[in-house]
Structure 1
Amino acid sequence: MSTTGTTLVIGATGTTGSRTAAQLSAAGHHLRAASRRGTPVPGAEPVRFDWYDPATHGAALAGADRLYLVPPVGDLDPAAVMLPFLRQARAAGVRRAVLLSSSAIPEGGPAVGAVHRELPGLFEEWAVLRPSWFMQNFLGGHVHAESIREHGTLLSATGNGRVGFVDADDIAAVAVRALTDERAPGTDLILTGPEALGYDDIAAILTEVSGRPVVHRSLTHDELHAHLAKELPTEFAALLADLDRAIADGAEDRTTDTVRRLTGRPPHDFRSVAEREGTSGR
Protein backbone atom coordinates (compact mmCIF):
# COMPACT_ATOMS: atom_id res chain seq x y z
CA MET A 1 0.00 0.00 0.00
CA SER A 2 1.32 3.44 -0.89
CA THR A 3 1.96 5.84 1.97
CA THR A 4 1.33 8.87 -0.25
CA GLY A 5 -2.39 8.99 0.49
CA THR A 6 -4.20 10.75 3.32
CA THR A 7 -4.63 9.42 6.84
CA LEU A 8 -7.63 10.60 8.85
CA VAL A 9 -6.73 10.66 12.53
CA ILE A 10 -9.90 10.69 14.63
CA GLY A 11 -9.38 12.01 18.14
CA ALA A 12 -6.36 13.99 16.96
CA THR A 13 -6.25 16.15 20.10
CA GLY A 14 -6.45 13.20 22.49
CA THR A 15 -3.78 11.19 24.28
CA THR A 16 -2.89 8.76 21.49
CA GLY A 17 -4.38 10.67 18.56
CA SER A 18 -2.24 13.76 19.14
CA ARG A 19 0.91 11.68 19.37
CA THR A 20 0.00 9.62 16.30
CA ALA A 21 -0.67 12.80 14.31
CA ALA A 22 2.62 14.32 15.44
CA GLN A 23 4.63 11.24 14.51
CA LEU A 24 2.91 10.93 11.11
CA SER A 25 3.57 14.59 10.39
CA ALA A 26 7.22 14.33 11.45
CA ALA A 27 7.65 11.42 9.04
CA GLY A 28 6.23 13.48 6.18
CA HIS A 29 2.84 11.79 5.79
CA HIS A 30 -0.21 13.74 4.71
CA LEU A 31 -2.91 13.67 7.35
CA ARG A 32 -6.20 15.16 8.34
CA ALA A 33 -6.64 15.83 12.07
CA ALA A 34 -10.22 15.29 13.19
CA SER A 35 -11.66 16.67 16.41
CA ARG A 36 -15.00 18.00 17.59
CA ARG A 37 -13.85 21.62 17.25
CA GLY A 38 -11.56 21.18 14.27
CA THR A 39 -8.64 22.27 16.44
CA PRO A 40 -5.46 23.06 14.48
CA VAL A 41 -2.75 20.40 14.80
CA PRO A 42 0.80 21.15 13.59
CA GLY A 43 1.52 19.57 10.20
CA ALA A 44 -2.06 18.44 9.62
CA GLU A 45 -5.21 19.64 7.90
CA PRO A 46 -7.75 20.27 10.69
CA VAL A 47 -11.30 19.05 10.19
CA ARG A 48 -14.33 19.06 12.47
CA PHE A 49 -15.59 15.60 13.35
CA ASP A 50 -18.18 14.42 15.86
CA TRP A 51 -19.12 10.76 16.16
CA TYR A 52 -22.67 11.83 16.98
CA ASP A 53 -23.04 14.28 14.08
CA PRO A 54 -23.11 12.39 10.75
CA ALA A 55 -23.09 15.72 8.90
CA THR A 56 -19.38 16.01 9.81
CA HIS A 57 -18.42 12.58 8.50
CA GLY A 58 -18.38 13.04 4.74
CA ALA A 59 -16.01 16.02 4.65
CA ALA A 60 -13.66 14.32 7.10
CA LEU A 61 -13.47 11.21 4.90
CA ALA A 62 -13.00 13.00 1.57
CA GLY A 63 -9.83 11.67 -0.06
CA ALA A 64 -8.74 9.60 2.94
CA ASP A 65 -7.49 6.06 2.40
CA ARG A 66 -6.47 5.24 5.98
CA LEU A 67 -8.10 5.76 9.37
CA TYR A 68 -6.90 5.91 12.94
CA LEU A 69 -9.98 5.31 15.06
CA VAL A 70 -10.39 6.45 18.65
CA PRO A 71 -13.86 5.43 19.89
CA PRO A 72 -16.16 7.99 21.53
CA VAL A 73 -15.09 8.33 25.15
CA GLY A 74 -17.41 6.91 27.79
CA ASP A 75 -19.85 5.35 25.31
CA LEU A 76 -20.78 1.82 26.40
CA ASP A 77 -22.14 1.03 22.92
CA PRO A 78 -19.78 2.74 20.47
CA ALA A 79 -20.68 0.32 17.68
CA ALA A 80 -24.00 2.12 17.25
CA VAL A 81 -22.22 5.20 15.86
CA MET A 82 -18.95 3.69 14.69
CA LEU A 83 -20.20 0.92 12.40
CA PRO A 84 -22.36 3.18 10.17
CA PHE A 85 -19.38 5.53 9.85
CA LEU A 86 -17.03 2.67 9.00
CA ARG A 87 -19.38 1.43 6.29
CA GLN A 88 -19.45 4.96 4.89
CA ALA A 89 -15.65 5.05 5.05
CA ARG A 90 -15.33 1.82 3.12
CA ALA A 91 -17.70 3.13 0.44
CA ALA A 92 -15.67 6.35 0.26
CA GLY A 93 -12.48 4.45 -0.57
CA VAL A 94 -10.79 3.86 2.79
CA ARG A 95 -8.70 0.69 2.56
CA ARG A 96 -6.99 0.52 5.93
CA ALA A 97 -8.29 1.09 9.46
CA VAL A 98 -6.41 0.96 12.74
CA LEU A 99 -8.67 0.81 15.79
CA LEU A 100 -7.72 1.77 19.33
CA SER A 101 -9.22 -0.73 21.76
CA SER A 102 -7.98 -2.05 25.10
CA SER A 103 -6.12 -5.07 26.40
CA ALA A 104 -9.06 -5.59 28.75
CA ILE A 105 -11.60 -5.91 25.91
CA PRO A 106 -11.33 -8.92 23.57
CA GLU A 107 -12.78 -9.22 20.08
CA GLY A 108 -16.56 -9.46 20.44
CA GLY A 109 -16.41 -8.23 24.03
CA PRO A 110 -18.29 -5.26 25.46
CA ALA A 111 -18.10 -1.69 24.13
CA VAL A 112 -15.45 -1.40 21.40
CA GLY A 113 -15.10 -5.19 21.30
CA ALA A 114 -18.15 -5.25 19.00
CA VAL A 115 -16.38 -2.91 16.56
CA HIS A 116 -13.25 -5.07 16.73
CA ARG A 117 -15.32 -8.08 15.67
CA GLU A 118 -16.65 -6.33 12.55
CA LEU A 119 -13.45 -4.61 11.39
CA PRO A 120 -11.92 -7.51 9.36
CA GLY A 121 -15.11 -7.77 7.31
CA LEU A 122 -15.14 -4.08 6.51
CA PHE A 123 -11.59 -3.36 5.34
CA GLU A 124 -8.97 -5.09 3.25
CA GLU A 125 -6.25 -3.97 5.66
CA TRP A 126 -6.74 -3.51 9.38
CA ALA A 127 -5.24 -3.71 12.85
CA VAL A 128 -6.60 -3.40 16.37
CA LEU A 129 -4.35 -1.90 19.02
CA ARG A 130 -5.11 -3.28 22.47
CA PRO A 131 -2.86 -1.33 24.84
CA SER A 132 -2.69 -1.94 28.53
CA TRP A 133 -3.46 0.96 30.86
CA PHE A 134 -1.79 4.24 29.89
CA MET A 135 1.12 5.54 31.92
CA GLN A 136 -0.29 8.99 31.17
CA ASN A 137 -3.28 8.21 33.41
CA PHE A 138 -1.00 9.18 36.30
CA LEU A 139 0.51 12.21 34.60
CA GLY A 140 -2.13 14.09 32.59
CA GLY A 141 -5.79 14.97 32.99
CA HIS A 142 -7.08 11.57 34.14
CA VAL A 143 -8.88 11.26 37.47
CA HIS A 144 -5.83 9.44 38.88
CA ALA A 145 -3.50 12.28 37.91
CA GLU A 146 -5.83 14.90 39.38
CA SER A 147 -6.04 13.00 42.68
CA ILE A 148 -2.25 12.68 42.78
CA ARG A 149 -1.71 16.40 42.13
CA GLU A 150 -4.42 17.66 44.47
CA HIS A 151 -4.23 15.16 47.33
CA GLY A 152 -1.10 13.08 46.90
CA THR A 153 -3.24 9.94 46.78
CA LEU A 154 -3.78 7.27 44.17
CA LEU A 155 -7.13 5.52 44.62
CA SER A 156 -7.81 2.07 43.17
CA ALA A 157 -9.46 -1.26 43.81
CA THR A 158 -6.55 -3.13 42.22
CA GLY A 159 -5.16 -4.51 45.49
CA ASN A 160 -1.80 -6.14 44.81
CA GLY A 161 -2.57 -6.66 41.13
CA ARG A 162 0.03 -5.62 38.58
CA VAL A 163 -0.31 -3.98 35.15
CA GLY A 164 2.03 -3.74 32.17
CA PHE A 165 1.43 0.03 31.91
CA VAL A 166 2.28 1.42 28.46
CA ASP A 167 3.50 4.81 27.28
CA ALA A 168 1.12 6.63 24.91
CA ASP A 169 4.14 7.55 22.76
CA ASP A 170 4.78 3.84 22.24
CA ILE A 171 1.13 3.27 21.32
CA ALA A 172 1.42 6.05 18.74
CA ALA A 173 4.63 4.56 17.34
CA VAL A 174 2.88 1.24 16.79
CA ALA A 175 -0.14 3.04 15.32
CA VAL A 176 2.10 4.78 12.78
CA ARG A 177 3.65 1.47 11.74
CA ALA A 178 0.22 -0.14 11.45
CA LEU A 179 -1.02 2.77 9.33
CA THR A 180 1.98 3.14 7.03
CA ASP A 181 3.80 -0.19 6.64
CA GLU A 182 3.45 -1.89 3.28
CA ARG A 183 1.08 -4.39 4.88
CA ALA A 184 -1.10 -3.87 7.91
CA PRO A 185 -0.63 -6.45 10.70
CA GLY A 186 -4.14 -7.84 10.16
CA THR A 187 -4.47 -8.82 13.79
CA ASP A 188 -5.00 -7.45 17.26
CA LEU A 189 -1.89 -6.24 19.02
CA ILE A 190 -1.60 -6.24 22.81
CA LEU A 191 0.74 -3.41 23.83
CA THR A 192 2.49 -3.14 27.18
CA GLY A 193 5.47 -1.48 28.76
CA PRO A 194 8.61 -3.44 29.72
CA GLU A 195 7.46 -4.40 33.22
CA ALA A 196 4.32 -5.11 35.21
CA LEU A 197 3.87 -2.75 38.16
CA GLY A 198 1.45 -2.56 41.06
CA TYR A 199 -0.17 0.70 42.10
CA ASP A 200 2.09 0.77 45.16
CA ASP A 201 5.04 0.69 42.74
CA ILE A 202 3.56 3.57 40.73
CA ALA A 203 3.09 5.66 43.88
CA ALA A 204 6.68 4.98 44.98
CA ILE A 205 8.14 5.98 41.59
CA LEU A 206 6.04 9.16 41.46
CA THR A 207 7.22 10.05 44.97
CA GLU A 208 10.84 9.66 43.93
CA VAL A 209 10.49 11.51 40.62
CA SER A 210 8.35 14.41 41.88
CA GLY A 211 9.83 14.81 45.32
CA ARG A 212 6.28 14.92 46.73
CA PRO A 213 4.76 12.01 48.68
CA VAL A 214 2.24 9.94 46.75
CA VAL A 215 0.34 7.17 48.54
CA HIS A 216 -1.73 4.38 47.03
CA ARG A 217 -5.00 4.03 48.92
CA SER A 218 -6.64 0.68 48.28
CA LEU A 219 -10.44 0.71 48.07
CA THR A 220 -13.02 -2.03 47.76
CA HIS A 221 -14.85 -2.42 44.46
CA ASP A 222 -17.97 -0.78 45.90
CA GLU A 223 -16.00 2.11 47.42
CA LEU A 224 -14.33 2.82 44.10
CA HIS A 225 -17.62 2.68 42.22
CA ALA A 226 -19.17 5.17 44.65
CA HIS A 227 -16.16 7.46 44.34
CA LEU A 228 -16.15 7.41 40.52
CA ALA A 229 -19.92 7.82 40.30
CA LYS A 230 -19.54 11.29 41.80
CA GLU A 231 -17.91 12.44 38.54
CA LEU A 232 -18.98 9.87 35.93
CA PRO A 233 -22.20 8.20 34.74
CA THR A 234 -22.93 5.32 37.10
CA GLU A 235 -22.71 2.62 34.39
CA PHE A 236 -19.32 3.87 33.22
CA ALA A 237 -18.15 4.12 36.84
CA ALA A 238 -19.22 0.51 37.35
CA LEU A 239 -17.28 -0.58 34.25
CA LEU A 240 -14.11 1.11 35.54
CA ALA A 241 -14.53 -0.43 38.98
CA ASP A 242 -14.98 -3.85 37.36
CA LEU A 243 -11.75 -3.36 35.40
CA ASP A 244 -9.90 -2.60 38.64
CA ARG A 245 -11.27 -5.82 40.11
CA ALA A 246 -9.99 -7.70 37.06
CA ILE A 247 -6.54 -6.19 37.64
CA ALA A 248 -6.68 -7.36 41.27
CA ASP A 249 -7.42 -10.86 39.94
CA GLY A 250 -4.34 -10.78 37.69
CA ALA A 251 -5.93 -10.06 34.30
CA GLU A 252 -3.31 -7.43 33.31
CA ASP A 253 -0.21 -8.99 34.89
CA ARG A 254 1.73 -9.51 31.66
CA THR A 255 4.16 -7.93 29.24
CA THR A 256 4.47 -8.41 25.48
CA ASP A 257 7.15 -7.81 22.86
CA THR A 258 4.79 -6.01 20.47
CA VAL A 259 6.30 -2.52 20.78
CA ARG A 260 9.84 -3.82 20.21
CA ARG A 261 8.74 -6.11 17.37
CA LEU A 262 6.91 -3.39 15.44
CA THR A 263 9.11 -0.37 16.18
CA GLY A 264 12.54 -1.96 16.52
CA ARG A 265 13.15 -0.46 19.97
CA PRO A 266 12.13 -1.38 23.52
CA PRO A 267 9.09 0.23 25.13
CA HIS A 268 9.63 3.05 27.61
CA ASP A 269 9.57 2.31 31.34
CA PHE A 270 7.36 4.23 33.75
CA ARG A 271 10.16 6.06 35.56
CA SER A 272 11.58 7.51 32.33
CA VAL A 273 8.11 8.55 31.15
CA ALA A 274 7.33 10.24 34.48
CA GLU A 275 10.63 12.13 34.26
CA ARG A 276 10.03 13.07 30.62
CA GLU A 277 6.45 14.26 31.06
CA GLY A 278 7.32 16.19 34.19
CA THR A 279 10.08 18.01 32.32
CA SER A 280 7.92 18.69 29.25
CA GLY A 281 5.08 20.15 31.29
CA ARG A 282 2.56 17.66 29.89
Structure 2
Amino acid sequence: MSAAATLVIGATGTTGSRTVARLTAEGHRVRAASRRAAPSAGAEPVAFDWYAPTTHGPALDGVERVYLVPPVGDPDPAPLMLAFLRRARAAGVRRAVLLSASAIPEGGPAVGQVHAALPGLFGEWAVLRPSWFMQNFTGAHVHADSIRDEGVIRTATGDGRVGFVDAEDIAAVAVRALTDRSAPNTDLVLTGPEALGYDDIAAILTEVTGRPVTHRNLSYEHMRARLAASLPAEFAALLAGLDRAVADGAEDRVTDTVRRLTGRPPGAFRAVVEREARSGGRGV
Protein backbone atom coordinates (compact mmCIF):
# COMPACT_ATOMS: atom_id res chain seq x y z
CA MET A 1 0.00 0.00 0.00
CA SER A 2 1.38 3.44 -0.91
CA ALA A 3 1.96 6.04 1.78
CA ALA A 4 -0.87 8.40 2.61
CA ALA A 5 -0.63 11.65 0.69
CA THR A 6 -0.83 15.33 1.51
CA LEU A 7 -3.18 17.26 -0.75
CA VAL A 8 -2.00 20.80 -1.48
CA ILE A 9 -4.81 22.94 -2.89
CA GLY A 10 -3.65 25.93 -4.89
CA ALA A 11 -0.45 24.07 -5.75
CA THR A 12 0.58 26.56 -8.45
CA GLY A 13 0.03 29.61 -6.22
CA THR A 14 2.34 31.72 -4.09
CA THR A 15 2.32 29.57 -0.96
CA GLY A 16 1.03 26.33 -2.47
CA SER A 17 3.89 25.94 -4.96
CA ARG A 18 6.45 26.54 -2.23
CA THR A 19 4.71 24.12 0.12
CA VAL A 20 4.70 21.42 -2.57
CA ALA A 21 8.42 21.94 -3.20
CA ARG A 22 9.30 21.70 0.49
CA LEU A 23 7.13 18.64 1.13
CA THR A 24 8.57 16.73 -1.83
CA ALA A 25 12.12 17.73 -0.85
CA GLU A 26 11.46 16.10 2.54
CA GLY A 27 10.27 12.92 0.85
CA HIS A 28 6.54 13.24 1.47
CA ARG A 29 3.98 12.00 -1.02
CA VAL A 30 2.18 15.06 -2.37
CA ARG A 31 -0.90 15.53 -4.53
CA ALA A 32 -0.56 18.93 -6.20
CA ALA A 33 -4.08 20.21 -6.84
CA SER A 34 -4.90 23.00 -9.27
CA ARG A 35 -7.45 23.74 -11.96
CA ARG A 36 -4.98 22.85 -14.69
CA ALA A 37 -3.25 20.00 -12.83
CA ALA A 38 0.13 21.40 -13.86
CA PRO A 39 3.16 19.08 -13.59
CA SER A 40 5.17 19.56 -10.41
CA ALA A 41 8.53 17.88 -9.83
CA GLY A 42 8.15 15.01 -7.38
CA ALA A 43 4.39 15.53 -6.86
CA GLU A 44 1.27 13.92 -8.31
CA PRO A 45 -0.70 16.53 -10.29
CA VAL A 46 -4.46 16.36 -9.77
CA ALA A 47 -7.26 18.49 -11.19
CA PHE A 48 -9.15 20.48 -8.57
CA ASP A 49 -11.64 23.32 -8.81
CA TRP A 50 -13.47 24.65 -5.75
CA TYR A 51 -16.51 25.28 -7.96
CA ALA A 52 -16.52 21.81 -9.55
CA PRO A 53 -17.42 19.26 -6.82
CA THR A 54 -16.85 16.39 -9.26
CA THR A 55 -13.10 17.09 -8.88
CA HIS A 56 -13.17 16.85 -5.10
CA GLY A 57 -13.57 13.11 -4.64
CA PRO A 58 -10.69 12.10 -6.95
CA ALA A 59 -8.43 14.73 -5.38
CA LEU A 60 -9.07 13.28 -1.89
CA ASP A 61 -8.32 9.67 -2.82
CA GLY A 62 -5.60 8.35 -0.49
CA VAL A 63 -5.15 11.70 1.27
CA GLU A 64 -4.46 12.01 5.00
CA ARG A 65 -3.56 15.71 5.27
CA VAL A 66 -4.70 18.76 3.34
CA TYR A 67 -3.41 22.30 2.86
CA LEU A 68 -6.33 24.60 2.13
CA VAL A 69 -5.99 27.73 0.03
CA PRO A 70 -9.42 29.41 -0.26
CA PRO A 71 -10.89 30.25 -3.67
CA VAL A 72 -9.37 33.54 -4.76
CA GLY A 73 -11.67 36.54 -4.78
CA ASP A 74 -14.68 34.81 -3.21
CA PRO A 75 -16.11 37.05 -0.45
CA ASP A 76 -18.07 34.14 1.08
CA PRO A 77 -16.11 30.91 0.64
CA ALA A 78 -17.36 29.18 3.79
CA PRO A 79 -20.34 27.20 2.37
CA LEU A 80 -18.20 25.79 -0.42
CA MET A 81 -15.18 25.04 1.75
CA LEU A 82 -17.12 23.51 4.63
CA ALA A 83 -18.91 21.12 2.28
CA PHE A 84 -15.53 20.03 0.95
CA LEU A 85 -14.09 19.65 4.46
CA ARG A 86 -16.96 17.45 5.58
CA ARG A 87 -16.33 15.31 2.51
CA ALA A 88 -12.61 15.25 3.31
CA ARG A 89 -13.25 14.05 6.85
CA ALA A 90 -15.48 11.27 5.56
CA ALA A 91 -12.76 10.29 3.08
CA GLY A 92 -10.20 9.80 5.86
CA VAL A 93 -8.43 13.15 6.07
CA ARG A 94 -7.26 13.59 9.67
CA ARG A 95 -5.32 16.88 9.55
CA ALA A 96 -6.22 20.18 7.85
CA VAL A 97 -4.11 23.33 7.63
CA LEU A 98 -5.95 26.43 6.48
CA LEU A 99 -4.39 29.51 4.92
CA SER A 100 -6.17 32.57 6.28
CA ALA A 101 -4.79 36.05 7.00
CA SER A 102 -3.62 38.02 10.01
CA ALA A 103 -6.39 40.57 9.40
CA ILE A 104 -9.17 37.97 9.58
CA PRO A 105 -9.91 36.60 13.06
CA GLU A 106 -11.65 33.35 13.94
CA GLY A 107 -15.33 33.81 13.15
CA GLY A 108 -14.62 36.93 11.10
CA PRO A 109 -15.65 37.56 7.50
CA ALA A 110 -14.87 35.28 4.56
CA VAL A 111 -12.43 32.52 5.56
CA GLY A 112 -12.84 33.46 9.23
CA GLN A 113 -15.98 31.32 9.23
CA VAL A 114 -13.97 28.31 8.05
CA HIS A 115 -11.41 29.02 10.77
CA ALA A 116 -14.16 28.88 13.39
CA ALA A 117 -15.49 25.55 12.11
CA LEU A 118 -12.16 23.74 11.64
CA PRO A 119 -11.64 22.48 15.23
CA GLY A 120 -15.06 20.84 15.17
CA LEU A 121 -14.24 18.97 11.97
CA PHE A 122 -10.73 17.65 12.60
CA GLY A 123 -8.83 16.53 15.67
CA GLU A 124 -5.59 17.80 14.08
CA TRP A 125 -5.57 21.25 12.53
CA ALA A 126 -3.90 24.62 12.21
CA VAL A 127 -4.83 28.01 10.77
CA LEU A 128 -2.00 30.04 9.26
CA ARG A 129 -2.67 33.77 9.54
CA PRO A 130 0.19 35.44 7.65
CA SER A 131 0.55 39.18 7.37
CA TRP A 132 0.76 40.71 3.89
CA PHE A 133 3.12 38.86 1.54
CA MET A 134 6.48 40.36 0.61
CA GLN A 135 5.94 38.73 -2.79
CA ASN A 136 3.09 41.19 -3.45
CA PHE A 137 5.90 43.52 -4.57
CA THR A 138 7.84 40.99 -6.63
CA GLY A 139 5.36 38.41 -8.00
CA ALA A 140 2.00 38.27 -9.75
CA HIS A 141 0.18 41.03 -7.86
CA VAL A 142 -1.26 44.46 -8.62
CA HIS A 143 1.50 46.11 -6.57
CA ALA A 144 4.23 44.30 -8.51
CA ASP A 145 2.58 45.29 -11.78
CA SER A 146 2.32 48.97 -10.86
CA ILE A 147 5.92 48.99 -9.60
CA ARG A 148 7.15 47.57 -12.88
CA ASP A 149 4.91 49.67 -15.14
CA GLU A 150 4.81 52.99 -13.26
CA GLY A 151 7.19 52.91 -10.32
CA VAL A 152 4.20 53.47 -8.01
CA ILE A 153 2.56 51.59 -5.13
CA ARG A 154 -1.02 52.71 -4.42
CA THR A 155 -2.66 51.99 -1.06
CA ALA A 156 -5.07 53.50 1.45
CA THR A 157 -2.74 52.61 4.35
CA GLY A 158 -1.44 56.08 5.19
CA ASP A 159 1.52 55.82 7.57
CA GLY A 160 0.40 52.41 8.86
CA ARG A 161 3.00 49.70 9.28
CA VAL A 162 2.82 45.99 8.40
CA GLY A 163 4.91 42.98 9.47
CA PHE A 164 5.28 41.78 5.86
CA VAL A 165 6.17 38.09 5.61
CA ASP A 166 8.12 36.04 3.07
CA ALA A 167 6.03 33.38 1.32
CA GLU A 168 8.96 30.99 1.79
CA ASP A 169 8.49 31.34 5.54
CA ILE A 170 4.75 30.71 5.22
CA ALA A 171 5.48 27.51 3.31
CA ALA A 172 8.07 26.42 5.88
CA VAL A 173 5.52 26.82 8.67
CA ALA A 174 2.86 25.06 6.56
CA VAL A 175 5.10 22.02 6.18
CA ARG A 176 5.70 21.84 9.92
CA ALA A 177 1.97 22.24 10.63
CA LEU A 178 1.18 19.47 8.14
CA THR A 179 3.84 16.93 9.06
CA ASP A 180 5.08 17.35 12.64
CA ARG A 181 4.07 14.54 14.99
CA SER A 182 1.77 16.88 16.94
CA ALA A 183 -0.52 19.30 15.13
CA PRO A 184 -0.47 22.93 16.36
CA ASN A 185 -4.26 22.86 16.98
CA THR A 186 -4.27 26.65 17.07
CA ASP A 187 -4.01 29.67 14.81
CA LEU A 188 -0.56 31.00 13.96
CA VAL A 189 0.03 34.66 13.14
CA LEU A 190 3.04 34.89 10.82
CA THR A 191 5.11 38.02 10.23
CA GLY A 192 8.55 39.01 9.12
CA PRO A 193 11.17 40.42 11.52
CA GLU A 194 10.07 44.07 11.29
CA ALA A 195 7.01 46.22 10.67
CA LEU A 196 7.37 48.53 7.66
CA GLY A 197 5.27 51.27 6.15
CA TYR A 198 4.66 51.41 2.42
CA ASP A 199 7.00 54.42 2.21
CA ASP A 200 9.69 52.13 3.69
CA ILE A 201 8.85 49.46 1.13
CA ALA A 202 9.19 51.97 -1.72
CA ALA A 203 12.53 53.22 -0.38
CA ILE A 204 13.97 49.69 -0.11
CA LEU A 205 12.80 48.80 -3.61
CA THR A 206 14.41 51.98 -4.94
CA GLU A 207 17.70 51.24 -3.19
CA VAL A 208 17.88 47.59 -4.25
CA THR A 209 16.73 47.96 -7.85
CA GLY A 210 18.10 51.41 -8.65
CA ARG A 211 14.72 52.36 -10.13
CA PRO A 212 12.60 55.03 -8.39
CA VAL A 213 9.54 53.66 -6.61
CA THR A 214 7.08 55.86 -4.70
CA HIS A 215 4.10 55.19 -2.46
CA ARG A 216 0.95 57.06 -3.40
CA ASN A 217 -1.62 57.17 -0.61
CA LEU A 218 -5.29 57.13 -1.63
CA SER A 219 -8.50 57.59 0.29
CA TYR A 220 -10.51 54.51 1.23
CA GLU A 221 -13.18 55.49 -1.33
CA HIS A 222 -10.66 55.97 -4.12
CA MET A 223 -8.97 52.67 -3.31
CA ARG A 224 -12.28 50.82 -3.23
CA ALA A 225 -13.31 52.25 -6.60
CA ARG A 226 -9.93 51.39 -8.12
CA LEU A 227 -10.15 47.79 -6.93
CA ALA A 228 -13.79 47.48 -8.02
CA ALA A 229 -12.70 48.09 -11.60
CA SER A 230 -11.22 44.58 -11.69
CA LEU A 231 -12.79 42.76 -8.71
CA PRO A 232 -16.30 42.04 -7.40
CA ALA A 233 -17.55 45.10 -5.52
CA GLU A 234 -17.91 43.27 -2.19
CA PHE A 235 -14.37 41.90 -2.37
CA ALA A 236 -13.01 45.30 -3.42
CA ALA A 237 -14.64 46.88 -0.37
CA LEU A 238 -13.15 44.17 1.87
CA LEU A 239 -9.63 44.78 0.53
CA ALA A 240 -9.92 48.56 0.78
CA GLY A 241 -11.18 48.10 4.32
CA LEU A 242 -8.08 46.06 5.16
CA ASP A 243 -5.95 48.97 3.96
CA ARG A 244 -7.90 51.29 6.22
CA ALA A 245 -7.28 48.92 9.14
CA VAL A 246 -3.55 49.05 8.40
CA ALA A 247 -3.75 52.85 8.54
CA ASP A 248 -5.31 52.50 12.00
CA GLY A 249 -2.42 50.30 13.21
CA ALA A 250 -4.04 46.85 13.05
CA GLU A 251 -1.00 45.19 11.41
CA ASP A 252 1.78 47.01 13.26
CA ARG A 253 3.22 43.93 15.00
CA VAL A 254 5.80 41.17 14.71
CA THR A 255 5.58 37.63 16.07
CA ASP A 256 8.09 34.86 16.82
CA THR A 257 6.00 32.15 15.11
CA VAL A 258 8.32 31.51 12.15
CA ARG A 259 11.37 31.12 14.39
CA ARG A 260 9.45 29.02 16.92
CA LEU A 261 8.14 26.53 14.36
CA THR A 262 11.05 26.39 11.92
CA GLY A 263 14.03 27.04 14.20
CA ARG A 264 15.31 29.94 12.08
CA PRO A 265 14.51 33.66 11.84
CA PRO A 266 12.08 34.96 9.23
CA GLY A 267 13.41 36.62 6.09
CA ALA A 268 13.77 40.41 6.01
CA PHE A 269 12.22 42.41 3.17
CA ARG A 270 15.50 43.74 1.79
CA ALA A 271 16.96 40.22 1.60
CA VAL A 272 13.82 38.93 -0.12
CA VAL A 273 13.90 41.71 -2.73
CA GLU A 274 17.57 41.00 -3.42
CA ARG A 275 16.82 37.29 -3.79
CA GLU A 276 13.81 37.89 -6.05
CA ALA A 277 15.78 40.37 -8.17
CA ARG A 278 18.44 37.71 -8.78
CA SER A 279 15.76 35.21 -9.82
CA GLY A 280 13.88 37.66 -12.06
CA GLY A 281 10.82 38.47 -9.94
CA ARG A 282 8.13 40.29 -11.93
CA GLY A 283 8.09 43.43 -9.81
CA VAL A 284 11.86 43.79 -9.61
TM range (shorter): over 0.9
Give the residue type in structure 2 aligned to 1:131: P
2:185 maps to 1:190: no
How far apart, in 2, do the equivalents of 1:76 and 1:125 lie? 26
Aligned partner of 2:223 in structure 1 is 224
Aligned partner of 1:68 in structure 2 is 67
How far apart, in 2, do the equivalents of 1:230 and 1:52 lie? 23
Give the residue type in structure 1 aligned to 2:59: A
How far apart, in 1, do the equivalents of 2:231 and 2:63 lie? 35
- Tell me, what secondary structure is at the counterpart of 1:217? strand
How far apart, in 2, do the equivalents of 1:115 and 1:231 lie? 26
2:35 maps to 1:52: no
How far apart, in 1, do the equivalents of 2:202 and 2:230 lie? 23
Aligned partner of 1:32 in structure 2 is 31
Aligned partner of 2:245 in structure 1 is 246
Identity %: 75
Q: Deviations over 1:182-234 (max 9, x none)?
A: 01100000000000000000000000111100000011111111111122121
Give the residue type in structure 2 aligned to 1:104: A
Aligned partner of 1:122 in structure 2 is 121
The unaligned stretches of length 5 or more in structure 2 are none
How far apart, in 2, do the equivalents of 1:187 and 1:226 lie? 36
2:208 maps to 1:177: no
More deviation in 4-13 or 42-51? 4-13
> Could you tell me how far 1:55 is from its partner in structure 2?
0.3
How far apart, in 2, do the equivalents of 1:57 and 1:67 lie? 12
Q: Deviations over 1:105-127 (max 9, x none)?
A: 00000000000000001011000
Aligned partner of 1:89 in structure 2 is 88
Please identify runs of 4+ aligned residues in structure 1 that moved more than 3 A. none
Q: Deviations over 1:143-187 (max 9, x none)?
A: 111001000000011000000000000000000000000011000
> Could you tell me how far 1:79 is from its partner in structure 2?
0.7
Aligned partner of 2:13 in structure 1 is 14
Q: Deviations over 1:31-72 (max 9, x none)?
A: 000000111111100000000100000000000000000000
Give the residue type in structure 2 aligned to 1:224: M
Give the residue type in structure 1 aligned to 2:107: G
TM-score by length of 1: 0.98
How far apart, in 2, do the equivalents of 1:87 and 1:78 lie? 14
- Tell me, what secondary structure is at the counterpart of 2:64? strand
Q: Deviations over 1:236-265 (max 9, x none)?
A: 111111000000000000000000000000
Give the residue type in structure 2 aligned to 1:57: H
In angstroms, what is the RMSD of aligned CA positions? 0.6
> Could you tell me how far 1:235 is from its partner in structure 2?
1.3
Aligned partner of 2:263 in structure 1 is 264
How far apart, in 2, do the equivalents of 1:271 and 1:187 lie? 30
How far apart, in 2, do the equivalents of 1:79 and 1:230 lie? 25
Aligned partner of 1:208 in structure 2 is 207
Aligned partner of 1:281 in structure 2 is 280
TM-score by length of 2: 0.97
> Could you tell me how far 1:5 is from its partner in structure 2?
2.4
